[in-house]
Chains A and B, each alone.
Chain A
Amino acid sequence: MKLLVCISQTPDTTAKISFSSDGTEFNQSGVQFIMNPYDEWYALVRACELKESLGGTVVALNVGPAANETTIRKALAIGADEAVRINTEAQGSMHVAKQIAEYASDKGFDIIFFGKETIDHNGSEVGAMVAEYLDLPYVSYASKLELNGSTANLQRDIEGGVEELEVDLPFVVSASKGMAEQRIPNMRGIMTARTKPLQVVEPVAFEESTKLVKFTLPPAKAGVKLVDPENMDELVRLLHEEAKVI
């Protein structure tokens, strides 16, 4: 079983988000970076579980600069066997997908895992792009993944419900809550992570056609209007007449 888990590095969930004065750059100072939670908690852990029960290898892959290696080592500490870093700043989702697809094209991975989306770009784009580049089936938002020989049974989140699916290996999947439980790396994992191989691969050229113009912060709220807890008729009136939402 050869499993590839694509991991992204994102600002911590509590990070204060700010930008350069012209709005073109995310202000990194004082921000702690983490592995994108869905990539870590669900995709990576499920891949490790499958490898532990069926044998094989888990490769963790990140497209990014050398500074991301702390995050990559964490993936190794959680249980990936080897890691690959494609040495380029991500320019956009298709640029990243192209790098991953180039790397994966001749490696014969059985499953390529992604988290359901990143908590910074919130795009949910890269998995589908890689699937298309490699002409593989794609299941997004999978909350369960069981293997039965060369067939996978999956459950996926749809609006207001779930779908049960079946697909043959190889395929691409994005993982959502339910697929696995978060794993805290133990001491042994952290120690062995230092000696596991981390290969650096040079990128292929690709021109991203979606370009950032600028970031802005949402307008601040006007401030809360407090309503007397004894007087809920007043709240209903405000929601009807002032806010006009009922």
Chain B
Amino acid sequence: MVLVFAESPNGHLKKAAFEAVTYGKKAADLLGTSCVALCLGDVENAGVLGSFGASNVYHVANSTLNSFDSQSYSAAIAAAVEKLGATLVILSHSSTGKSLAGRLAVKLNAGLVSGASSIPSVEGGKIRVSKGVYSGKAIAEYEINSPVQVISLMGNAVKPIKSGNEVAVESLEVTVPNNRVTVKSSKTQEGIVPLPEAELVVSAGRGMKDPSNWGIVEELADTLGATLACSRPVADSDWRPHHEHVGQTGIAIRPNLYIAIGISGAIQHLAGVNNSKVIVVINKDPEAPFFKAADYGVVGDLFEVVPRLNEAFKQFKANN
């Protein structure tokens, strides 16, 4: 059995949860077994996970789990794995999943591959799965040799697909230790898709010259419904907030579309964005290294090109 932990911070299932269940279902089909989903603490409308391929949705309603602590969460997941007899455990490679994957692997004596980006395959009865390594510069395939395996799934690596119907949520009783980490507050920006989940990203660099020039970039992102990102020097000089910094030392992302504006394309920047499906580069320097990594390029002054592109997108939106 494949067990997928479906994250629901503040009671809301994340996009990553739908991706993880879709992935778990594909792995289960391959292994000739079933895929079940597990929700912990607050969750609304968990039955919808059935439509992404979970044959059963289990819920541990223990109130300790309304606040995240890797110890109580990993204990609850491990207990569910044992109770249900699951052998493959799927997590999201998110801030939550990264706190859990290693713990869970130790608890279950399981081999772990974190940040997987491919559907597993089976070779000689063993599970194999690939992930990006060397900050996106290479891909590594691993074989997991333990009876139980843990895989955490990179965000945006699979598209959530509905393949079934909603199911009734079954409650599951497991013992959970008390939390030792207290979450005092949790602040997320309202109405913005967080960078790791974003499918469309508009990113700008030092070519913007000054933080007061960001209006044209914000307008473009607004038109597209895209999330903003930036290069490291831009975040380091506080032109933009740190959570927008992408690259080797920032956030690694893999959106469908990455539009890079006034960014030279240094190797450390590319390391965080080169897994994007499509890259558009706008730069006045035809020799900018970013063009080598781009699918589409515009050689021109960003202060003219970006407003023009914004108008073109607006036209497109109006007609479609």
A→B interface (CB under 8 Å): 11, 13-14, 17, 19, 37-38, 93-94, 97, 117, 119-133, 137-141, 143, 153, 156-168, 171, 177-178, 208-218, 221-222, 224-227, 229-230, 232-233, 235-236, 238-240, 243, 245-246
Question: Which B residues lie within 8 Å of A129 (CB)?
Answer: 102-103, 105-106
Q: Which of B9, B114, B183, B298 contacts A125 (CB 8 A)?
A: B114
A237 to B315, CA, bound (A): 11
Q: Which of B101, B252, B311 has the most CB of A within 10 A?
A: B101
Q: Are B296 and A227 in contact (CB under 8 A)?
A: yes
- Answer whether residue B8 sits at the interface, using C-beta atoms and an 8 A cutoff: no
A119: min CB distance to chain B, Å: 5
Question: Which A residues lie within 8 Å of B181 (CB)?
Answer: 137-139, 165-167, 171
A183 to B52, CA, bound (A): 48
Question: Which of chain B's residues 131-162 have a Cβ closer than 8 Å to chain A?
Answer: 131-146
Question: Which B residues lie within 8 Å of A168 (CB)?
Answer: 180
Q: Are A123 and B316 in contact (CB under 8 A)?
A: no
Q: Are B110 and A128 in contact (CB under 8 A)?
A: no
Question: Which A residues lie within 8 Å of B219 (CB)?
Answer: none
Q: What are the 4 closest A-B residue pairs judged by CB atoms, nearest first? A: A160-B194, A128-B102, A229-B300, A161-B188
- Answer whether residue B83 sits at the interface, using C-beta atoms and an 8 A cutoff: no
A145 to B170, CA, bound (A): 40
Q: Are B295 and A243 in contact (CB under 8 A)?
A: yes
Question: Which of chain B's residues 99-140 have a Cβ closer than 8 Å to chain A?
Answer: 99-103, 105-107, 110-115, 128, 131-140
A145 to B69, CA, bound (A): 17
Q: Which of A117, A128, A161 contacts B70 (CB 8 A)?
A: A128
Q: Are B189 and A161 in contact (CB under 8 A)?
A: yes
Question: Which A residues lie within 8 Å of B98 (CB)?
Answer: 117, 124, 128, 140-141
Question: Which B residues lie within 8 Å of A212 (CB)?
Answer: 140-142
Please name 10 pairs of A and B residues whose Cβ atoms are closer than 8 Å in the assembled complex, sorted by A: A133-B106, A139-B181, A141-B98, A160-B243, A163-B184, A178-B242, A211-B145, A216-B138, A221-B294, A235-B280
A25: min CB distance to chain B, Å: 12
A192: min CB distance to chain B, Å: 28
